Structure 1
């Protein structure tokens, strides 16, 4: 099964990484001997991805130079630039919509997610809902739990999570364009889009079973490098 277009949010500054991102954007930080984004793109290709849209901002031109049209990875890669002003994660997706099609996956450019991407898409389509969030049973292990999950629907609020929240947003979602654009007010943060869909009972869930790896902090970067070297 080929996947819908994958939107990768790769515009963050990565300020917590300090010197690591002084000359390169976070997705190009070296991990296990090569830019992190190379690992991520190869993972997505193995899972059936064909078309990628990279939403870029900080040092975005260097990402274009490194990845090009994606042929080296067996992919078709396009780009969407934030522009002169920061527009947030939801703003970046909104700007990229003309390239994404009626249904797309969205994830972050600093995460390595071991999950059955095609099965996530299958479950999303079977749900009939406008969005499906992948969630990991967290119970406070990796970060603050911010979601509930009853086996079908996700209750999500990043800013004021429920006291019953034992799950965490895994960082991958399948979203329909109609669902995304139905959220009024054009919020800047993608988390606010998910929260509104959740309030409506329109956010389906998919349980991830493998822990995520990411490069958002020096400690996480070191841990992910060790994992990928294996």
Structure 2
């Protein structure tokens, strides 16, 4: 198993989960019970199977629930640090708050949403960070029905050109997984709140900084609405080899 010592994952787990509050009550969305464990724990177990030994969690709404659970070290050999977002900072703002307060150093940062999951072998995506002049990359997933998600517009070199509005039909969606060099992160705006989709990526494109789009066909789910939350248990059970046994390549990947 490859170990990525110089890439640190940051999970964005601070959202309010407004569309699920009637279902979850006093539980933050990433802590929704899925197949007997919090959805967030499945994400971290997946990262461990992909070679990581630590992660930072950006928490916000009901942060104490997340901190209390992972303070019990439920994943052996995997270090979890929680950094609370005292006020809403946006997706990129929460990420910057995390890396500043964690005092950890990395050559690159892997950013993942705490309410969605793409079950692909991450190694080829992470290898992009080793390229000369690497700045940023987005993990795109092909979906037969992209109507609930923004899709990605790329050029013929697999470089990001724009985030497109939701549209019906098949499309390459933004999976919510990003990879950034530490150098480019230090150039992010310090204005808050700060969004990856609305602020960071438009800034990179405006400055003609290349953003690579990595394309994959792989199992994907989000728990943003009650219907997909309900389906997530079967999704986890059908893909347990991604969480407990290392599988070298169970998806079709291209870049």
Same fold (TM over 0.5): yes
1:94-116 residue CA offsets vs partner (Å, 9 max, x unmatched):
11123353311001111121112
Aligned residues: 226
> Match for residue 105 of structure 1?
110
User: How far 1:70 moved relative to its partner?
Assistant: 3.8
> Separation in 1 of the partners of 2:190 and 2:220?
31
State the TM-score, normalized to the length of structure 2: 0.80
> Separation in 2 of the partners of 1:86 and 1:63?
17
Q: In the alignment, is residue 46 of structure 1 matched against residue 49 of structure 2?
A: yes
The SS at the match of 1:216 is: coil
User: How far 1:124 moved relative to its partner?
Assistant: 3.5
> Match for residue 156 of structure 1?
162
The SS at the match of 2:131 is: helix
The SS at the match of 2:109 is: strand
> Separation in 2 of the partners of 1:156 and 1:138?
18
> Taking structure 1 as reference, are residues 50 and 142 closer, same or farther at Cα in structure 2, changes over 3 Å only?
farther
User: How far 1:32 moved relative to its partner?
Assistant: 1.4
> Match for residue 190 of structure 1?
196
User: How far 1:144 moved relative to its partner?
Assistant: 4.2
User: How far 1:140 moved relative to its partner?
Assistant: 5.3
> Taking structure 1 as reference, are residues 141 and 51 closer, same or farther at Cα in structure 2, changes over 3 Å only?
same
> Match for residue 30 of structure 2?
27
> Separation in 1 of the partners of 2:228 and 2:17?
12
User: How far 1:69 moved relative to its partner?
Assistant: 6.5
State the TM-score, normalized to the length of structure 1: 0.87
Q: Which one of the candidate residues 114, 119, 127 is aligned to 1:122?
A: 127
Unaligned runs of 5+ in 1: none
User: How far 1:214 moved relative to its partner?
Assistant: 1.2
